[in-house]
Amino acid sequence: MPRTEAQFEEIREQKISLIMQTALELFASEGFYPTSISRIAHKAGISKGLMYNYFNSKEELILVILEKGINKLTESLDPNKDGFLTENEFEFFINENFRILKENPDYWKLYFATMMQPAVFNLVKTKIKDILPHRIFIVEDYFRRKNLPDPEMEACYFDSVMDGIFLNYVMNPEEFHLENIEKMVIERFK
C-alpha cells in the first residue's frame, strides 16, 4: 500500500530529527569544523546525498540546531505571550531553564563552544541576536515592575548568572549541585 502524505511527512521529520541529534552530538564532542557532513551521515546511518535533501550545508545545520535550542528556552518565557511576566511565570521560566539544561547538556556544550569560536559564531550570530533581545526586554520589564533601582542591569546580571550556571554545569555536571543552585536563583531573583 502506498504511503500517505502524512506518513511521508512523519518520515521526513524523523530523518531531520536524527540528523540534527547526530550532528549535535558530533559538533559538541568533536567540534564544528572537524565534523564533516560525511561523518554525520555515516553516524546517522544515512547517505550523504540524503543529508543534502534536508540541509544545504553544515552551516545551515548548526544554525537550525542552535536556533531550535534557543527558541525552546525562549518559549518558556512568558508562557501566555501577553508580554508581561508574573512572579509565577518568572519562576516557571527559571525552572524550565534548569530542566532544559539537564535534559540536553550536549546542546549547551555546543552553544558555548560556538560562542567562543569567532569563526563559528559569525555563522549564527545574526539569528541569535534576533532572538535574545526580546527575552532581555521582558526580564528587564519584570524587574522594573518590582521597582528595582536599575532593572536593565538586573536583567543583565540575571542573564549572566544563568549563563555561568549553564557553563559550569556543562563543564562539570557531577560536581555541580544544580537543584540547590536552582533554589538559590529563585530566591534571589523572584
pLDDT in tens, the chain (190 residues): 777 888 888 988 999 999 999 999 999 999 999 999 999 999 999 999 999 999 999 999 998 998 888 888 888 888 888 888 999 999 999 999 999 999 999 999 998 988 888 888 887 787 777 777 777 889 999 999 999 999 999 999 999 999 999 999 999 988 888 999 999 999 999 8
Give the phi and the psi of residue 155 in degrees, each rounded to 5: -65, -40
Q: Mutual orientation of helices 58-75 and 5-30 as an angle, nearest 10°?
A: 100
Torsion of CA 80, 83, 87, 91, to 10 degrees: 60
**Whole-angstrom distance, CA of residue 131 vs CA of residue 138:** 12
Decide yes or no: CATH 3.90.70.10 for domain 1-55: no
Q: Taking the complete model, does pTM exceed 0.85, yes or no?
A: no
58-189 — its CATH code? 1.10.357.10
Domain ranges in the chain with CATH number 1.10.10.60: 1-55
